[in-house]
Amino acid sequence: MANQFDGRVALVTGGASGIGRVAAQAFAREGARVIVCTDANIKGGEETVKMIKEAGGEASFVKCDVSKAADVEAMVDKCISLYGRLDYAFNNAGIGPDGKRVPIANIVDCPEEIWDRTIDINLKGVFLCMKYELKQMLKQKYGVIVNTSSVGAYKPVPGFCAYDASKIGVIGLTKEAALEVAAAGIRVNAVLPGPTDRTLLFDYLTGAKPEEKNKMMNVIPMKRIGHPEDIAAAVVWLCSDSASFITGHVMPVDGGMSAM
């Protein structure tokens, strides 16, 4: 249904590229005004906003490092001052193992800095976002949150200890939050993308090499790599009224990988 989010406001973290950019565009196409956030890739965030505006939608960029409480609080405040409310939050910002070829390091070799940075952004970032988003949603007595976990939470890969732990943690936090706010009419769910193309993360993992992409495709039961649009469609649906009785749910969008 087009324009099902008219009058609504959506916040997308990690909206400078990949899944977040496509999800921000999808929210806008449904009529939502969108806050796009990212920390370092400001050019990418502004580009996402430009793309939405050129397509006739409304969006604003806010610089925010999701691992910093003051940044996250300011981002939610900015959203309220700009648009007056916050209906949907897609907590999607995340980093991969370390931006190099995998596997990066088994537990015995994993540098403490990689562990801390990954947990700070991927897990604490989701905690901080929900903390401030839920404060506003509880005031409104309305809201839907979708957090990005990963198929890695169900299918851990040796060498990805911090990443996999962070994404398993996101599932726990999602269920915890869902139970805490269910009676207030607020829903919280998670998506678990499988390998997804046109993302910086996927390019890191495959070294952007076609032969590596093919290898990855062959381990996916549906024999194709996911597209950001596959994940965005699930996120929009989880936020929609069609999913109004769904909370605490963990939804793989992975071509069947997590069923193996």
Q: How far is the CB of 98 from ligand NAD (least distance, A)?
A: 13
Q: How far is the CB of 112 from ligand NAD (least distance, A)?
A: 18
Q: How far is the CB of 184 from ligand NAD (least distance, A)?
A: 26
CB 194 within 8 A of CB 255: yes
Q: How far is the CB of 30 from ligand NAD (least distance, A)?
A: 20
Residue placing its CB nearer to ligand NAD in the complex, 39 or 87:
39
Residue placing its CB nearer to ligand NAD in the complex, 94 or 143:
94
**Tokens 């990443």, residue?**
163
The answer to whether residue 83 is catalytic is: no
Q: What is the DSSP string of the chain?
A: -TTTTTT-EEEEETTTSHHHHHHHHHHHHTT-EEEEEESS-HHHHHHHHHHHHHTT-EEEEEE--TT-HHHHHHHHHHHHHHHS---EEEE-----SSSSSSP-B-GGG--HHHHHHHIIIIIIHHHHHHHHHHHHHHHHT-EEEEEE--GGGTS--TTBHHHHHHHHHHHHHHHHHHHHHGGGTEEEEEEEE-SBSSSHHHHHHHTT-HHHHHHHHHTSTTSS-B-HHHHHHHHHHHHSGGGTT--S-EEEESTTGGG-
The single residue of 88, 132, 154, 163 carrying the catalytic annotation is 163
Residue placing its CB nearer to ligand NAD in the complex, 60 or 148:
148
Return residues touching ligand NAD (CB under 6 A). 13-14, 16-20, 37-41, 64-67, 92-95, 121, 148, 150-151, 193, 195-196, 199-202
Residue placing its CB nearer to ligand NAD in the complex, 4 or 198:
198
Q: How far is the CB of 100 from ligand NAD (least distance, A)?
A: 14
Residue placing its CB nearer to ligand NAD in the complex, 66 or 236:
66
State the angle between helix axes of 18-29 and 228-239 in degrees (0 to 180), rounded to the nearest 10: 50
Q: Which residues are catalytic?
A: 163
